[in-house]
């Protein structure tokens, strides 16, 4: 396939990426390369044992295992207090979006270097984006201050990721690639990466569902997630991410699962305004059209299909719509209140996506 190339801007991000099974053993060498010896190791309570294993070789390591979904400010304040108390000279995060988000929040306030070991397919590890929740509202910003210096992709760390979380996290990664394909500042490099990310994840996730401990499938999914996250870091996201940030921050819905529910609906909403993106998505999925292909993939994997199932109250749709319409992200189709309300209602009920208003 030959791509039509027009004028564009491409800005590479300066992260060091280490990819391969067993590469978590490189943490000590990477700390030494950064000139650090007193790491604050960040994880969630459920993944505390992973943090303890990382901390074991270091005499002056401190473990903080209270990372929380959507990076609430009160948790960040406690982590900052622990950072100062321990005189930490770097942050090492192991986990998914909660751990990585907290690591970024610490870096934003302290400028400490970060080493990140992802255990999910969230993609946040390769982006200069941080989302923080204060006063019940999640806000995001882009700043190079939060971009981790080193990312270590060790596929073995994803083997214990439960199937339901693997599926939701993988669909979240696909969402990064999907929105990169119609981003206002897209370029040929990110578009190639995005399509490859969708194709890799769409192939890997059914194999993981069939054989959850398959190293080959997990490696392909991690590769796809890296590509999708890299796209997320280099170009702007659109309506899908705006909606998911609103729903997650306002109703405390799980991040990856919210992406899994909303993705096909937003793609259907944008379909007529982004035909080239729809062609790329459908080609990557080997389906007739993008939105039904994404919906069918999610359904076949047993992913959640309704906001109701995630715990969102039906009465919250109007409030969500109000927040989505406020300070809208760049998007190929302008936000239209009536169409968006219909879309949110369909997503709440778990109905298939529809392109008609």
**Which element (helix H / strand E) includes 255?**
helix 255-270
- Is the pLDDT at 114 greater than 90? The verdict is yes
Looking at the DSSP assignment, which residues form a beta bridge with residue 118? 95
Average pLDDT for residues 45-50, to the nearest whole number? Answer: 95
Determine the distance from the C-alpha atom of residue 86 to the mean position of all C-alpha atoms in its chain, rounded to a whole number.
30
163-349 maps to CATH 3.40.50.2000: no
At 130-160, the pLDDT tens digits run 989 888 888 889 899 999 999 999 999 999 8
Question: Across the chain, what does the average pLDDT equal?
Answer: 94
- Is the pLDDT at 2 greater than 70? The verdict is no
| pLDDT reported for residue 190 | 95
At 261-312, the pLDDT tens digits run 999 999 999 999 999 999 999 999 999 999 999 999 999 999 999 999 999 9
Regarding predicted confidence, which is higher, 71 or 13? 71
Residues 197 and 228 sit within 8 Å (Cβ to Cβ): yes
At 169-199, the pLDDT tens digits run 999 999 999 999 999 999 999 999 999 999 9
Residue 158's closest CA among 166, 149, 150? 166
| pLDDT reported for residue 251 | 94
Looking at the DSSP assignment, which residues form a beta bridge with residue 19? 153
Q: Supply the DSSP string of 293-327, one letter for each residue.
A: HHHHHHHHTT----HHHHT--GGGHHHHHHHHHTT
Options 1.10.3720.10, 3.40.50.10490, 3.40.50.300, 3.40.50.1970; CATH of 16-158: 3.40.50.1970
Give the whole-number percent of the chain exceeding pLDDT 90: 89
Average pLDDT for residues 99-115, to the nearest whole number? Answer: 97
Average pLDDT for residues 43-64, to the nearest whole number? Answer: 95
Confidence of residue 88 (pLDDT cuts 50, 70, 90): very high
- Is the pLDDT at 356 greater than 70? The verdict is no
Confidence of residue 3 (pLDDT cuts 50, 70, 90): low
Q: Beta 90-95 vs 39-42: how paired, if at all?
A: parallel
Confidence of residue 1 (pLDDT cuts 50, 70, 90): low
- Is the pLDDT at 229 greater than 80? The verdict is yes
| pLDDT reported for residue 192 | 96
- Is the pLDDT at 91 greater than 80? The verdict is yes
Cβ-based burial of 29 (10 A; exposed 0-12, middle 13-18, buried ≥19): exposed
Q: Count the residues in the chain.
A: 357
Q: Beta 90-95 vs 62-64: how paired, if at all?
A: unpaired
| Beta-sheet strands, E only, within the chain | 16-19, 39-42, 62-64, 90-95, 114-118, 129-134, 137-142, 150-153
pTM of the model: 0.90
Confidence of residue 9 (pLDDT cuts 50, 70, 90): confident
Tally helices (H) and strands (E) across the chain: 14, 8
Residue 263's closest CA among 285, 235, 289, 295? 295
Question: Domain spans of the chain?
Answer: 16-158, 163-349
| pLDDT reported for residue 122 | 87
């Amino acid at each position: 396939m030959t791509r039509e190339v027009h004028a564009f801007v491409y800005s590479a991000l300066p992260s060091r990426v280490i990819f391969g099974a067993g590469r978590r053993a490189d943490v000590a060498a990477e700390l030494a390369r950064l000139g650090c010896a007193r790491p604050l190791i960040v994880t969630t309570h459920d993944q505390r044992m992973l943090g303890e294993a990382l901390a074991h070789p270091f005499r002056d390591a401190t473990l903080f295992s209270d990372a929380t979904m959507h990076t609430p400010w009160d948790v960040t304040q406690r982590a900052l207090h622990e950072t100062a108390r321990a005189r930490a000279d770097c942050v090492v995060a192991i986990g998914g979006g909660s751990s990585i988000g907290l690591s970024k929040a610490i870096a934003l306030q302290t400028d400490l270097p970060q080493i990140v070991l992802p255990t999910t397919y969230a993609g946040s590890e390769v982006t200069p984006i941080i989302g923080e929740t204060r006063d019940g509202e999640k806000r995001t910003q882009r700043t190079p201050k939060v971009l981790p210096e080193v990312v270590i992709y060790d596929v073995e760390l994803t083997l214990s990721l439960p199937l339901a979380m693997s599926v939701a996290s993988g669909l979240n990664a696909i969402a990064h690639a999907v929105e990169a394909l119609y981003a206002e500042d897209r370029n040929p490099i990110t578009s190639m990466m995005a399509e490859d990310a969708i194709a890799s994840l769409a192939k890997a996730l059914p194999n993981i569902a069939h054989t959850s401990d398959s190293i080959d499938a997990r490696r392909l999914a991690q590769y796809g997630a890296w590509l999708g996250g890299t796209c997320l870091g280099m170009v702007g996201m659109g309506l899908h991410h705006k909606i998911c940030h609103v729903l997650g921050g306002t109703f405390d819905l799980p991040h990856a699962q919210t992406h899994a529910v909303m993705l096909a609906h937003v793609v259907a909403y944008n379909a007529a305004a982004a035909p080239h993106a729809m062609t790329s998505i459908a080609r990557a999925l080997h389906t007739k059209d993008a939105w039904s292909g994404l919906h069918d993939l999610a359904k076949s994997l047993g992913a959640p299909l309704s906001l109701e199932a995630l715990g969102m109250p039906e009465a919250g749709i109007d409030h969500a719509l109000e927040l989505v319409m406020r300070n809208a992200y760049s998007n190929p189709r302008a936000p239209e209140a009536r169409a968006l309300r219909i879309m949110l209602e369909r997503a709440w009920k778990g109905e298939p996506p529809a392109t008609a208003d």
